Structure 1
Amino acid sequence: MRTYFALVRKEPGSDYGVDFTDFPGCITAGTTFEEACLMASEALQFHIEGMVEDGALIPAQTSLDVIMSDPRNTDAIAIQVSVSIHFQQVTR
């Protein structure tokens, strides 16, 4: 099992959006915070399965300190998302 950080963001008048620093393009959303967290797990699992099928290398997890030091992420809530597939990992 591997764990990555997802960032949950909420703009006024919108759903909760989720993105992954380590997986550009892997995004999802939910109408509640709880739903967004559940959707994050499904989105990451699906995204990594596709990468594995394509033979892509899976990135190492970026530390939370590095993620949150980016000024674009200061208003985001970081959550941990686990995936239960086996894959090759590349280090940074």
Structure 2
Amino acid sequence: MLYPIAIEKTMFEGKTVYGVVVPDLLGCVAVGDSYQEAYDNAIEAIGLHLEGMNEDNEEIPFPKTIDDYIYHIDYQGMIWATVEIDLSPYMGKVEKVNITLPQSLLHRIDKKILGNKSYYRSRSHYLSELAFRDLSSSHSF
């Protein structure tokens, strides 16, 4: 899933720092001395935040898009980026299931996966991503 992050460049004690806010994860923030360091720290902060939510049995929120936040007053003047996060470690134990699909649909799924190897790792990953998106229409898991 792609979580949007808002990055703000500011001065702190005479030096430039970058602060990151993750709008979909209330309280999830990161900082860095460079844009790249702030971005990398945001990835770590999101992972820790999701881990805590999972431990507390809280619902993992489905990420919104940058367009959902870009004009919000709290984020004016910030730089936007997205962070790709694999949510599977925060969704509970993996369970193997047996499903039946028409052969032509299975071939189309495989073709989609091959064309997007940088995103989809397997049939299971593809199907779980689609299911998560569909079930998260209320923006929470």
Answer whether TM exceeds 0.5 for this pair: yes
Unaligned stretches of 5+ in structure 2? 93-131
Superposed, which structure 2 residues align to 1:11-90 within 5 Å?
A: 11-13=10-12, 14-86=16-88, 87=91, 90=136
Name 2:3's counterpart in structure 1.
4
Relative to its length, the structure with more strand (as a share) is 1
Runs (4+) off by over 4 Å = none
Relative to its length, the structure with more helix (as a share) is 2
**2-structure distance, mates of 1:41, 1:67:** 19
SS in 2 for 1:6: strand
Percent identity between the two aligned chains: 27
**2-structure distance, mates of 1:81, 1:16:** 16
Greater Rg over alpha carbons, structure: 2
Number of equivalenced pairs: 91
Shift of 1:12: 2.8
TM-score (ref. length: structure 1): 0.87
**2-structure distance, mates of 1:63, 1:82:** 12
TM-score (ref. length: structure 2): 0.59
**2-structure distance, mates of 1:84, 1:47:** 13
